[in-house]
Structure 1
Amino acid sequence: MKYVAYIIIVLALGLGIFNATKLDFDALLEGESMVGVITIICSLCAIMLMLILLISKKIEEKSKGRS
């Protein structure tokens, strides 16, 4: 499960970087730039969720070790 989370983080990071190239800072919320903004936000959400999952797995392993 840990490797899947790392793969998803890398893919989301790549997708965010790719869509950052599509941003037009003069018209940030119009057309293709809007799609880029939404995709970057979704990528950041996916990264945060995977980091939360990894941290919760570490906590679970430590709590099982103490029991």
Structure 2
Amino acid sequence: EWKKHQVALREQFPSGWAPPKRLSREAMDLVRTMHAANPSLYSTAALAAQFKVSPEAIRRILKSRFEISKHE
């Protein structure tokens, strides 16, 4: 299953992933929060439409667990 997805992504993005529009860290956190609160209402497609980015970008944001370290 994941292998099919990987092959499909390589066909869609032959030179690698380079989204034309990037979201700020705050927007990414909001995407994660909204999806965690109600995944059926805030699906990948709904979030992509709301933030005007591709569903693949939203999928990658939800998959990522990156957090900025807070060195103070």
TM range, normalised to the smaller chain?
under 0.3
**TM-score w.r.t. structure 1 length?**
0.28
Q: Greater helix percent: which structure?
A: 1
* Higher relative contact order, structure no. (Cα contacts within 8 Å, ≥ 6 residues apart): 1
